[in-house]
Chains A and B, each alone.
Chain A
Amino acid sequence: MSIVITDDFRESFFQECEDLLEAMNDGFRLMVEDQHEIETVHAVFRAVHSIKGGAGAFGLDTLVEFAHHFETALDKLRSGKLDLDDEVLALFQRCGDHLADLVAAARDGAPMDEAVGAQLNGELNDAIGTTPPDEASDSHDFQPTGLDLALALGAAGSSRYEIIFEPFAELFRSGNEPALLFRALARMGPLAVTMDSTAIPQFADLDPSKPHLIWRLELESEETIETITDAFEFVEGMCRLEIVELEAPDPGSTSLDDPPASLLDVLAPLSDATEPGPVRAQRAPPAAGRAESANRNSSATIRVDLERVDKLINLVGELVIKEAMLSQSITKIALPSENEVSVGLESLKQLAGEIQEGVMAIRAQPVKPMFQRMSRIVREAGLATGKRVRLVTQGEHTEVDKTVIERLVDPLTHMIRNAVDHGLEDSETRRSAGKPEEGTVILSAAHRSGRVMIDISDDGGGINRARVRKIAEEKGLVPPDADLSPTEIDNLLFLPGFSSKEEVSALSGRGVGLDVARSEVQALGGRVSITSNPGEGTTFSISLPLTLAVLEGMVIEVAGQTMVVPITAIQETLQPKTAEIHPVGHDGRVVVNRDRLVPIVDLGEVFGFRSAPDILDHHVLLLVETDNNRHCALIVDGIQDQRQVVIKSLESNYGHVNGVAAATILGDGRIALIIDPDGIIRDATGHAGGEIQFFSAG
């Protein structure tokens, strides 16, 4: 018999690890804030201990070994043999980080750098003042329960054993039962049992709490003496036990086929004597499926496959669309507003809205685990730059769509590193500015008007605008005479190619600039902005939609087609005057907008519906801004509406179509494409699109 360790078990183990690591980090945070109690230490210990226990079951030896070292040090802490100072705490946090890495590596089957673990093990040993544990005895802790000695030694024919067994009183107090031990022995071969009752005193002298029986057993078995002794493993020290191998098997010895039954008969009066009243409590007959009932009430949450949730979200999207269609048809027949159908429709609409909100909430998750990861980023960034930094998190229970959270990790990591690396001054500068040596980075999340706001603030010196401008000029990103407001200078940080070799440090030398972080946020329908005050610090604000399932869009018309443009991309709409439009090159056109020249692109032409109109008097220009500060004016024939649309992916059926992000179904049942302004600009203006952005027309 053997249970098969399926992927489900593994998956559930790794999910539990996530929870345990979160609990561990919660504990560390309380310790950092000096608000912990002894229970906090216990909780951290248990988290690491449970990871070790689970890892052992899956044979994840590296993880087990490190968790064991870590746990040993935590045990010293909880038993008061180790003082928690800043150094120890920092070490524990790094060990926690490494443990998280090991869990991730085990999950992904990725190799781990053993040097890190070895280094930390060394530091842990130093901290608790022990020599490295004896590997032999250490690994013994994690051996499966005993080896099968019979297998190892092979069956060498049967032997005859004499066993003298005298249980002490404590054996019975521990819930052990001689009859069951004998039953186990009887499974090894023919067993003869003799009871020696000569030690039982006269009734008047009988102490019912003491056993007075001695058993002499004769076993004929192929098992070794070790295996037989193993059967008495749990009663070791609670009985007198002598096992002797006799000369040769005696075929004449009497054996009892079913000794336990008769022995229980013998023992029953004894146990009655020590335990007045009925031994076995009455209970209801076992109901079918009781094993399953075990999980009942055990937790207020359930784990649901993400696919099911997404299917539900999709269906609710359909429901909302059908409701809108129905609503439109009923409007057409112009029923009075107090009509039953209209009233019913109104409540249907409300219900559909509530269901949609509720279903979206299923995908929503607190940002807390992501924030916890950031506290590690801050620690590492602090170590790499030699700065003392503290991360303060606020609003970590704010809930955001799971996918948004996952895709936000990279840009957020970059901005946090940036805040430590470039935002905070070194200790000396801070001291001379009258600031505490330890810098603070605040990471906060909040819901604001239907969006999620995530702010990364540092209390550093603020953006050095003169320097930023100088770098941008040197790189040719901005002309030397350009008239730039402070905000415009701050936004230069987001230009591709801004981050320079000169400022590449251990942290930022990754070939990723803030421009990439920003385009990642924009890909989620988000926006990034900066505010900075000299001497006081800088704040990066990320504003994100609550979900990726719907988006706020502008419904437009082009060449008889209805399309949707994401509202986040649109900066403004223009009704251009002929004088503001200038021809460029062979067949290009630009429009003057706020002292800059913006290339004009006809959506109808891009999609092959028509050739671009010559006169734009009856058209509207949508000024869109995309990744990397590119701008473009899209010609559309008219604007119909602005509203939330349900996003339906086309990629699974049609593959990726450049310039098309997805599709949606409109209230009248028609399908409209949601355009991808970024793709359109890339196609229409080529890679040169970004180069004209800051040239002044003036």
Chain B
Amino acid sequence: MTLRILAVDDSRTMRNLLSAALVQAGFDVHLAEDGEDGLQRLQEAAPDVVITDINMPRLDGFGFIEAIRGSHSNRNLPILVLTTESAPELKSRARAAGATGWIVKPFDEVKLVAAIERVAVARGEA
């Protein structure tokens, strides 16, 4: 089964790069522009893993993660944070919100794919 990924980033460049890397790795990729957009697309995209930025307009990464975890059916949905930030206090904030993992930009595609495969399993495979 192909892993379905919802990637959320307000930077068009980053969405382009992520999408190219993930599609090439054989994933089914869905994109959103910020946390609110991500929440709206969550149902339709039905992702196996969510990758999200932190600094975004409208709803930032922390709020987005909390909102996902607030829904019962998404309590176990793996959420990877992909950001240029690496401050420990931000990491622990993301973890408290319910993030599964933390990856620092600029991302290395091999490591990113490895991280995705370490946290996600395609629905139906489980």
Contacts and interface: CB of A to CB of B under 8 A. Distances in A.
Given A43-B57, A177-B121, A286 B4 contact: yes
Interface string A2-20: 1101000100110010000
B109 interface: yes
Interface string A51-76: 01110110100000000000000000
Nearest to A264: B126
Given A42-B57, A233-B101, A54 B76 contact: no
A622 B24 CA distance: 66
A54 B98 contact: no
A281 B126 contact: no
A280 B16 contact: no
Nearest to A294: B31
A3 B20 contact: yes
B98 A175 contact: yes
B52 to A, nearest CB: 12
Given A13-B13, A264-B126, A295-B31, A180 B120 contact: yes
Interface residues of A, number: 58
Given A144-B107, A291-B19, A291-B28, A46 B55 contact: yes
A14 to B, nearest CB: 9
Contacts of A119: none
A286 B86 CA distance: 35
Given A46-B55, A280-B123, A286-B2, A57 B105 contact: yes
Contacts of A146: 108, 111
A293 B73 CA distance: 24
A2 B22 CA distance: 10
A275 interface: yes
Contacts, number: 167
A13 B17 CA distance: 10
Contact of B29 (A45, A271, A291): A291
Interface in B72-126: 72-73, 75-79, 83-86, 95, 98-115, 117-121, 123-124, 126
A283 B106 contact: no
Interface in B4-36: 4, 10-14, 16-17, 19-21, 23-25, 27-33
Interface of A: 1-3, 5, 9, 12-13, 16, 42-43, 45-46, 49-50, 52-54, 56-57, 59, 140-146, 172-177, 179-181, 183-184, 231, 233-234, 238, 264, 268, 271, 275, 277, 279-281, 283, 286, 290-291, 293-295, 298
Interface of B: 2, 4, 10-14, 16-17, 19-21, 23-25, 27-33, 37, 46, 53, 55-57, 69, 72-73, 75-79, 83-86, 95, 98-115, 117-121, 123-124, 126
6 tightest A-B contacts by CB?
A: A234-B101, A175-B100, A294-B31, A54-B13, A56-B106, A144-B108
